[in-house]
Chains A and B, each alone.
Chain A
Amino acid sequence: MTLTTHPETPIDPFADRRWRETSRAPHIEVAGVEVSFGAYTAITGIDLAIARGEFVSLIGHSGCGKSTLLNLMAGLGRPTQGTVQVEGQIVEGPAADRCMVFQHHGLLPWLSVYDNIYVAVDAARRSHTTDEKAARVERVLQAVRMWDHRTKKPGMLSGGQRQRVSVARAFAVAPSVLLLDEPFGAVDALTKRALHRELVELSSIVGTTETVVMVTHDIDEAIFLSDRIVVMTDGPSAGIREIVDVPIARPRTLSDVMHSPVYIELRDHLLSLLGDDEPR
């Protein structure tokens, strides 16, 4: 592969992925995965290939093991059987290149908003200069409209603001895979819409993230954001019931989705998949 540089376009040091081979292989590949805790089998028989650049949602009832599956991709858990590969490498542990937005924000309560992000960037992107890191932190905080609140501690913020900071922190380290664990589960419906919009904006403004996997139990959220929706069966021994395509071009606005002829059909189909507990 030959590198072509364009000196007239400044390259964001965080977005510099020129070295990466582009290949047709899946970005994330889950093969024959089972996770059991002693005699209890949480998930079993999971096969899933996610292409580079895809946004995939994992949806299912509480306790169906969708977070367990996401943790495997993050490297926070290990499969009992099978393999999880990212970029063709077997996932052995966590890495900032597969960054996670935690369900309960996971901000450190003793650090200010700014420091929470700076510490993460500083730890995950050691090769960058202090100025580059500071500029990066400012950029993501401006993007989620939290720059004015940068000196506050997480305990002084609202739930929506905390989640904004948490999302900004993940984008700040410029991961190629973004893993979202019910990121908007604890915020009200109006804030949630604003956060969805910001997530889409963030991807375009500081867009280095190629592939996103999100755990949710919100059907509308899944339709609005995803290319494909993985519907899981109920646990124990949860598996994949069906993978539903969302044939609406991305990036989308809310009205694109609402006025799309497939929206109602998709919604009904997902509701029927999730509505009855017996496999059909």
Chain B
Amino acid sequence: MSTLTEQRVAVGTRVGGRTFEVPAAKIVRSIAVNVGSLAAAAGILGLIWGIAAATVGDDLPGPIATMKTFFTLVSDPFYDRGPNDKGIGIQLGASLWRVFRGFAVGTAVAIPLGVLIGSSEIGRRVFDPIVQVLRPVSPLAWFPIGLVTLQSAPDAAVFVVFITSLWPTVINTAFGVSSIPQSHRNVARVFEFSPGTYLRRVVIPHSLPHILVGLRLSIGIAWVVIVAAEMLSGGTGIGFYVWDAWNALDLQRVISAILLIGIVGLLLDRVVSMIAHRFEYPEVP
């Protein structure tokens, strides 16, 4: 999938000042390959699912029945009929808004912390043990802490996302900042870069690709965790929706929600990866 995407990006892009012409036949073949492999993936998934549904029996709905439910849900995503009956789009939106807030605050804390750990020996000695001890903790274990400090279950879910999105960004930022090659440092010293110039022209451009890798990992885990956190918090959100559907023993809705969670997660990843692509530069041998 990723190589295919990269090929698509390379079509018609300027490399080294020359635009490579891509013949139409090649584009058509590339689209055919993409569509074909996606269809094959869906076919294999449907086959396994169908066999599983047939073996388990009536409790697990099959692919065709579920797809009907899926399209019903997607066709009217934003209806609102009271607190316990909202469209799937509203639920996803509520979850995304929580992820966005938790992720934004987490990033605002994680990047400066990473710079501190990566650039100063004292910073590393003080903060690295804290990161190492707290990082392996399941984010859901923080839920009660969020509940007690924020006095609100939905905000506690945001708090869990905040904690989750810290670690990958902290660790990758610290690595990026600490891995500035000696030759770049020497250039900055010889040409008498001011601290501000050094930060803007050396530290940030060198660390940015690493920071963006951290952000991509962070938002991925945040999206995984929000579903679980909302099962605990209740109220709104796609996690609550899954739990609610399960309590109604409506597995067609559960599976439809799983598919949507996956698709939204993929889109989030693509967005961050597209942003990261803008900050890439050609490596110098």
Contacts and interface: CB of A to CB of B under 8 A. Distances in A.
Interface of A: 74-76, 93-96, 98-100, 102, 104-111, 119-120, 122-124, 152-156, 159, 162, 173
B232 to A, nearest CB: 43
Interface of B: 16-17, 183-184, 186-187, 189-194, 197, 201-202, 205-206, 281-285
21 contacts: A74-B190, A93-B189, A94-B192, A96-B191, A99-B190, A102-B186, A102-B187, A106-B186, A106-B187, A108-B205, A109-B283, A109-B284, A111-B205, A119-B191, A123-B193, A152-B16, A153-B281, A156-B17, A156-B282, A159-B285, A173-B191
Contacts of B197: 119, 122-123
B190 A155 contact: no
Contact of B281 (A98, A105, A109): A109
Contacts of B284: 105, 107, 109, 154-155, 162
B189 A111 contact: no
B186 A120 contact: no
B16 to A, nearest CB: 5
Chain A contact residues, majority secondary structure:
loop
A108 B282 contact: no
A106 B282 contact: no
Nearest to A71: B186
B189 A108 contact: no
A153 B279 CA distance: 13
A123 B17 contact: no
B270 to A, nearest CB: 23
B82 to A, nearest CB: 53
A161 B284 CA distance: 12
A172 B193 CA distance: 15
Given A108-B202, A109-B282, A155-B281, A95 B192 contact: yes
B184 A108 contact: yes
Contacts of A98: 190
B191 A108 contact: no
A99 B284 CA distance: 22
Nearest to B280: A110
A156 B189 CA distance: 25
Given A107-B284, A108-B202, A109-B281, A123 B194 contact: yes
Contacts of A120: 187, 191
Nearest to B188: A123
Contacts of B191: 96, 99, 119-120, 123-124, 173
A124 B187 contact: no
Nearest to B205: A110
A94 B282 contact: no
A74 B186 CA distance: 10
Contacts of A173: 191
Contact of B282 (A74, A75, A76, A153): A153
B190 A76 contact: yes
A109 to B, nearest CB: 5
Contact of A76 (B186, B202, B283, B285): B186
Nearest to A121: B191
A203 B285 CA distance: 28
Contacts of B189: 75-76, 93-94
B206 A106 contact: no
A72 B195 CA distance: 23
* Residue in B190, B206, B281, B282 whose Cβ sees the most chain A Cβ within 10 Å: B190
The 7 closest A-B pairs by CB, nearest first: A155-B282, A110-B205, A94-B189, A120-B191, A110-B281, A94-B190, A123-B193
A128 to B, nearest CB: 14
Contacts of A123: 191-194, 197
A43 B193 CA distance: 30
A132 B183 CA distance: 28
Given A96-B190, A102-B186, A123-B197, 20 more contacts: A94-B186, A94-B190, A99-B191, A106-B183, A106-B184, A108-B187, A108-B202, A109-B281, A110-B281, A111-B205, A120-B191, A123-B191, A124-B191, A124-B192, A152-B17, A153-B281, A153-B282, A155-B282, A156-B17, A173-B191
